[in-house]
Chain A
Amino acid sequence: NAGVTQTPKFQVLKTGQSMTLQCAQDMNHNSMYWYRQDPGMGLRLIYYSASEGTTDKGEVPNGYNVSRLNKREFSLRLESAAPSQTSVYFCASSDADTGSPYEQYFGPGTRLTVT
């Protein structure tokens, strides 16, 4: 039982390049989330998916797209990376419909630098 996994762990991009951050969970959770964490800002929600087939914008969605590929996988895409997107990206999941909906399980994060 790996919990939440993210790939890659580290990435350096040049301005204008695109990339997809991958996230998968094996806990059979319905809800999945993408956050970014910047110094002094706390975690900010980019997008979330309450269930397979649905996605919703969070606090800072501009410049990102997401795909809920199936119940396990939720990917985050940067179409044209900008230096302002340099951050640590965390994926999380929760069993929002049953059990404890507020305990979110986080992946280890992806450290992205855009030059």
Chain B
Amino acid sequence: RKEVEQDPGPFNVPEGATVAFNCTYSNSASQSFFWYRQDCRKEPKLLMSVYSSGNEDGRFTAQLNRASQYISLLIRDSKLSDSATYLCVVLTGRRALTFGSGTRLQVQP
């Protein structure tokens, strides 16, 4: 079983739609959680951290459910520029991060 699992998609949504991605992780000792964004043929970049209480950054909301070991990312009012692959990332007890394989989002006009 992969440490971090994501639905690969693609999620095809119209502009203005709300879309949500989930991610599950297998190690209950995981300490910190993040969403990274990766544009096609580019490097990953940090989108936001995920806190237990949930956190929001503009149109993006991240939630963590430790009991069920899943993380979610909600994007409201989708823009064409949101089209990318979203990587769920987990830190478990060491410096290095474990990346999910990503969920691809395609926002259509």
Contacts and interface: CB of A to CB of B under 8 A. Distances in A.
B95 interface: yes
Contacts of A101: 95
B101 A96 contact: no
Contact of A42 (B32, B34, B46, B102): B102
A106 B45 contact: yes
Contacts, number: 46
B96 A103 contact: no
Interface residues of B, number: 20
Nearest to B85: A42
Contact of B43 (A50, A58, A94, A106): A106
B8 A40 contact: yes
Interface string B33-52: 01000000011111001000
Given A31-B95, A102-B32, A102-B91, A108 B101 contact: no
A102 B96 contact: no
Contacts of A74: none
B17 interface: no
Contacts of A33: 96
B95 A108 contact: no
Given A90-B44, A106-B43, 11 more contacts: A35-B99, A41-B101, A43-B44, A43-B87, A48-B95, A48-B96, A101-B95, A103-B46, A104-B97, A106-B45, A107-B43
13 contacts: A31-B95, A35-B99, A40-B101, A42-B4, A42-B102, A44-B99, A45-B97, A50-B95, A101-B95, A102-B34, A104-B44, A106-B45, A107-B43
